[in-house]
Amino acid sequence: MHDKTLAQQAALLASGELKSVELVDHYLTRIERLNSNLNAYILVDEDRAREAAVAADARLQKGEGGPLTGIPIAHKDIFCTKDVRTTCGSRMLENFIAPYNATVVDKLNDAGVVTLGKANMDEFAMGSSNENSFFGSVANPWQHDRVPGGSSGGSAAIVAAQLASAATGTDTGGSIRQPAAFCGVTGIKPTYGRVSRYGMIAFASSLDQGGPLARTAEDCALLLQAMCGHDPRDSTSSLTDVPDFSATLNDDIKGLRIGVPEEYFAQGLEAGVADAVKTALAELERAGAILKSISLPNQGLCIPAYYVIAPAEASSNLSRFDGVRFGHRAENPQDLEDLYKRSRGEGFGPEVKRRILIGAYALSAGYYDAYYRKAQQVRQLVTNDFTEAFKEVDVIAGPTTPTTAFSRGEKSSDPTAMYLNDLFTVSANLSGLPGLSAPCGFSNGLPVGLQLIAPVNEEARLLNLAHQYQSVSDWHLQSPVAND
């Protein structure tokens, strides 16, 4: 049953051929057998999962369920789950029991999902390889000596290894799309503001967005539907109506104009990645889309701008972890300053400390104008590039990442090399645009991701295009689990 997509499982649940309790038991058995090699789950909550499955079956029996009722998923451990440990991958929150649910968790619960557990992640969502987790790194299910990507690496590994039907993730600079690409699954980061950030532990508030990771675009549409919507508890939550994402999946893509930025194919792109993406674009052209070469002239400035803005916001957001209000508290403090210093020194890992230092520096008097303000100005230039491009095209397409999954340990001592992984993903966050990654082939036996970016609020266009691509290709159906 694990080889079925979420939509296929939903059909079996609706017809009564499959019970949620059976599906949940099936996944729990797989997790028991396979998770120790992958380390994709930080926490598995068997009792709650079984209880929720029984409730879902009762709902289905009465004909009251929706397409997600009884579907087992994992939540990235950045989403607060009431009465269940929420760690954000950090020692700081090693024993934090959230007193409330994130809005995303509540909304998916209302839709009837069953939460199997919490997915591993880079500490406070900072990373591109899932090697920054206090709970250990995660293996890529395709090749265990490779990283799954980050920071939602646990979520992507869980979907690829079929240890849940789908998972939630968050994306500040690529953390849904990049791991989706590395693990050969589909993931979408919606428009900034589409998904509530309430109860989603903050990293960089002007960039953070939640979204789903699943096998197919069709599955993502079902999950995103339940996750989106205005939330009065998030002041940046969008008031725009949420369309029916599934309704337009089969729209004809004939005449759809796809912009292919020349900059995406110039910058140190792995040959196998370039080949797979170009083949996918040719496939879309055959399906009726029109390819157009475009330019995003400020693409080269995205990484430097992102790595000023994200740490600046992080340094501010993470000031709440002071040993008093939340999280880890040092033993026997001498005085208040000692309590702050040692609680933070012991609770945070090295990458988080690096970001706090960079961010505090960039925001400090005398440097603010030179770094933070400048980065915000660059952000506007990047956004202007997209605005110009979208006058001529409907969607922008290219590789999600410059390479396929790299080896574990390969870049962990070189932060700059690590940051360059986010070359093609951070621009969508800087501009608040929706972005999707879908599997489009392999390079040296590892999955390649095709990234699609659309104008604000046009998630439906991305899902439609990805679904059409998945109707004429089968990369999304390839799976590393055949021999597990």
175 included as an active-site residue: yes
Q: Which residues contact 229 (CB under 8 A, 6 or more apart)?
A: 107, 196, 242
Beta carbon of residue 177, minimum distance to ligand GLN (angstroms, whole number) = 9
Which of 127, 153, 398, 441 forms a contact with ligand GLN (CB under 6 A)?
127
Order of strands, edge to edge, in the sheet holding 395-399? Answer: 41-44, 114-119, 72-76, 166-171, 209-214, 186-189, 435-443, 446-453, 395-399, 257-261, 290-294
Of the candidates 175, 238, 315, 437, the residue annotated as catalytic is 175
Can you name the residues that pair with 79 across neighbouring β-strands?
Answer: 200
| Beta bridge mates, 167 | 74, 213
73-112 residues near ligand GLN, rule: CB under 6 A: none
Tell which one of 77, 422, 458, 459 touches ligand GLN (CB under 6 A).
422
Which CA distances in Å does 93 have to 340, 342, 344? Answer: 15, 15, 11
First-to-final CA distance of the chain: 14
Evaluated on CA atoms 400, 426, 73, 86, the torsion sign reads: positive
Closer CB to ligand GLN, 411 or 476, in the complex: 411
Active site residue 151: yes
Is 310 an interacting residue with respect to ligand GLN (CB under 6 A)?
yes
Task: Count the Cβ atoms, other than its own, within 10 Å of residue 360.
Answer: 16
Which residue of 39, 120, 128, 468 would you call a contact of ligand GLN, by CB under 6 A?
128
CB of 202 to ligand GLN, least distance (A): 11
Which of 3, 7, 475 is closest to 245 using CA atoms?
Answer: 7
| String marking each residue 184-223 x if it binds ligand GLN according to CB under 6 A | -------------------x--------------------
125 binds ligand GLN (CB under 6 A): yes
Alpha carbon distance 379, 367 (integer Å): 18
Compute the distance between CA of residue 297 and CA of residue 193 in angstroms, rounded to an integer: 26
Minimum distance, C-beta of residue 89 to ligand GLN, in the bound complex (Å): 11
- Per rule CB under 6 A, is residue 173 in the interface with ligand GLN? yes
Rounded to whole angstroms, how far apart are CA atoms 417 and 411?
A: 6
Window contacting ligand GLN (CB under 6 A); options: 122-130, 191-199, 274-282, 403-411: 122-130
Q: How many alpha carbons fall within 13 Å on the CB side of residue 346? A: 16
Q: Which of 172, 317, 404, 437 binds ligand GLN (CB under 6 A)?
A: 172
If the CB atoms of residues 133 and 151 are measured against ligand GLN, the closer one turns out to be 151
Give the Cα separation of 464 and 288 in Å (integer). Answer: 13
User: Which of 133, 151, 165, 431 is flagged as catalytic?
Assistant: 151
Q: Please calculate the CA angle 233-101-431 and round it to the nearest 5 degrees.
A: 50
Nearer to ligand GLN, 218 or 422 (CB): 422
Stretch that binds ligand GLN, among 170-178, 269-277, 403-411, 430-438 (CB under 6 A): 170-178
Give the strand pairing for 186-189 and 435-443: antiparallel
Considering the complex, what minimum distance in angstroms separates the CB of residue 427 from ligand GLN?
Answer: 12
Tell me the Cα Rg of the chain: 21
Size of the site for ligand GLN (CB under 6 A): 13
In the bound state with ligand GLN, the residue whose beta carbon lies nearer, of 397 and 418, is: 418
From the list 52, 102, 126, 138, which residue makes contact with ligand GLN (rule: CB under 6 A)?
126
What is the rounded CA–CA span in Å between residue 429 and residue 448? 21
Q: Is residue 171 at the binding interface for ligand GLN, with CB under 6 A as the rule?
A: yes
Sign of the C-alpha dihedral, residues 340, 343, 347, 349?
Answer: positive
Closer residue to ligand GLN in complex, CB, 44/125: 125
Decide if residue 151 touches ligand GLN (CB under 6 A).
yes
Measured from the CB atom, the residue of 170 and 225 that comes closer to ligand GLN is: 170
The nearer residue to ligand GLN, 199 or 323, going by C-beta atoms, is: 199
Decide whether 24 or 78 has the Cβ nearer to ligand GLN.
Answer: 78
Of 243 and 304, nearer to ligand GLN (C-beta) is 304
**Min dist. Cβ of residue 300 to ligand GLN (A):** 17
Position 175 contacts ligand GLN (CB under 6 A): yes
| Minimal distance, residue 124 CB to ligand GLN, in Å | 8
- Catalytic residue, candidates 19, 76, 118, 411: 76
CA angle 401, 398, 402 (to 5 degrees): 20
Is 473 a known active-site residue?
A: no
Distance CA 124, CA 87 (A): 9
Q: Which residues are catalytic?
A: 76, 151, 175
Which residues lie near ligand GLN (CB under 6 A)? 125-128, 151, 171-175, 203, 310, 422
